[in-house]
Structure 1
Amino acid sequence: MVVEYEDSLEESSYSAAAHEPQDTARLAINASRQDDLADIIFLANNRRVTDMVASMPHPFTLEDAKALVKRSEAGHMGNTLFAIRMKNTGRFIGAIGYAPSMEDGGACHLGYWIGEPFWGQGYATEAAHAMVDFAFSDGGISTLTASCHVNNPASRRVLEKCGFQFREQSKMRMSGNSGLVNVDRFSLTRSTWKALKAWGQAA
C-alpha cells in the first residue's frame, strides 16, 4: 500500500510547495471543508473512536468539527491536518496529520483516525503510508513519532507496516475519557524511511 511515485527518494520529489500528500489507490488526502461537517460529527462522535485518539473529546460537537476544519485549512509543513477521503466519492472518512509534540521532545507526532464504518479495510495503512512519504520527502522532518493505545492492535499494525519501530510503553492523557491510559510509543527516522523505500523499490 506504499504510494508509488518516480524518484521517490530524491530531495526534489516533493517540494515545500507540495501542500498535500499524493492520492493513493483508493484515497484522496487533502484539506477538510465546511461541507464535511456532518460526516465529521457522525464519524467522530463515537466513543470507540475517541477512546483511542488522545486529542479527541467526547462528545464530539459541531464546534469541535469546525475546529478540525479550521486547523486543516491553516496547516503548514511541520504542523498539518488532512481529511482522508474516498477518492471515488470524495466522502470524508477520517483524518490524519502531524504536529510537534512536547511529550516527544518536539519531534513531529503522527496521528490519525478512521470512522468505524470504514475499519478493517486497510484505509488507515494506506493513508499513513502517504502521510509518512509526505512528511519526509521535503527533507524538513528528521523523525516522526506515533503512539497507540495498548488495546488497539489494529493501530499498532498500521504503524509497523509503515516502518515505525517500538520505543517504549508509557502513560498518555486522553481527552475522550479524561484519564491516563497505557500507550505504546513508536518512532521512525527519515534515514530508516529512505532505506525502506530503497529496499522496496529494489524488491
Structure 2
Amino acid sequence: MVVERDDLLDESSSAAAPLPQEAVRVRLDRPRADDLADLVFLANNKTVAANLATMPHPFSLSDGRAMIAKANLHRPDTACFAIRLKATGRLIGIARYANVEPGGPIHVGYWLGEPFWGQGLATEAVHALVDHAFTYHDIEELQGSCRVTNPASRRVLVKSGFQYRDQAMIRSVGAGGSVPIERYTLERAVWKSLKGWGQGR
C-alpha cells in the first residue's frame, strides 16, 4: 500500500493506453460499476486507509462510486486500474499513476484488500503498472512512497526496481494527521534493465 494521491486523479484515465495489462496471477483493467460491492468491502478498512494519503475511513458507497467514475475520466500520463485476480475476475485492489503537478513527476500508488496481503499479488500488480506507464507514455521517471511503518510496501517498491531517495512527511486522512514516509524513484533506464521481472532476483 503505497501512499497515493486520490485528489490528483479527478480526471484520471485507464483509457489512456491499451487494456488490460496482464501479470501471472493478476490483471489490471478498468474499474466497473459492478465492482462497487467488492471495492467498498475492501476499501472500508482502517489499516488500508491509514497507509494512504486521501482514502477516507469509513469508505462509503458514494466514495466507491466516485472512485470508479474518476477512474474512467481522461487525463494525460494518468491511469487508474482495478487489480483483479485472473482466475476469478474479482477486484482485489486499485493501482494507478498520475502527475503530482503539471509537468511534474509521475507518482504510482496502489492498495490491496487485506484478505489478499502477503501473497506477492501487490508486487505483480506494481510490475504491470510500471510496465504500462513506461511502455505507453513518454515518462523518464516514476516515483513511489510508503509509510516508514509499512515494510510490506517497501518490499514491493524495492522488488519493482524502485530505489530509495529520502524521507518526508505527508498528511494521511485515514491516519488522522501527518505521517513519515519513505520516497523512492524508478528511472526508465533502470526499468529497461529489469524488464525481465523476477530474473536473477
CA distance 1:179–1:74, change in 2 (3 Å) = same
Q: Secondary structure at the match of 2:21?
A: coil
The structure-2 alpha-carbon separation of the partners of 1:45 and 1:194, relative to structure 1 and needing over 3 Å to count, comes to same
| Counterpart secondary structure, 1:160 | helix
Comparing 77-86 and 117-126, the one that deviates more: 77-86
- Give the aligned residue type for 2:126: A
Residues 1-203 of structure 1: pairs in structure 2 closer than 5 A:
18-102=17-101, 106-197=104-195
Q: Residue 73 and residue 162 in structure 1: after superposition, are their counterparts in 2 closer, same or farther (change >3 A)?
A: same
Separation in 2, partners of 1:45, 1:101: 25
Aligned-partner Cα distance in 2 for 1:139–1:118: 29
Amino acid at match of 1:193: W
What TM-score comes out, normalization by structure 2 length? Answer: 0.86
Amino acid at match of 1:66: R
Contact 1:107 1:145 survives alignment (8 Å): yes
Query: Aligned pair in 2 of structure 1 residues 106, 21: CA closer, same or farther (>3 Å)?
Result: farther
Distance 1:166 1:20, change over 3 A: same
Separation (CA, whole Å) in 2 of partners of 1:91 and 1:198:
27
Runs of 4+ in 1 over 4 A off after TM superposition: 198-203
Report if aligned partners of 2:16, 2:74 keep a CA contact under 8 Å in 1: no
Q: Secondary structure at the match of 2:157?
A: helix
Count of paired positions: 187
Distance 2:130 2:197 in 1: 16
- For the 8 Å contact 1:21–1:130, the answer to whether it is kept is no
Identity of aligned residues (%): 51
SS state of the match for residue 197, structure 1?
Answer: coil
Residues 193/35 of structure 1: CA separation in 2 closer, same or farther (3 Å cut)? same
CA RMSD of aligned residues (A): 2.3
State the 1:46 CA deviation: 0.3
Q: What SS does the aligned partner of 1:84 have?
A: strand
Which blocks of at least 5 consecutive residues in structure 2 are unaligned?
A: 1-14
The answer to whether the 8 Å contact 2:77/2:137 transfers is no
User: Where in structure 1 are there 5+ consecutive unaligned residues?
Assistant: 1-15
**3-state SS in 1 of match to 2:28:** strand
Q: Deviation at 1:118?
A: 0.4
Q: TM-score, normalised by structure 1?
A: 0.85
Shift of 1:106: 1.7
**CA–CA separation in structure 2 for the residues paired with 1:181 and 1:191:** 31
Match of 1:129, SS state, is helix
Asked whether the 8 Å contact 2:16–2:76 carries over to 1, the reply is no
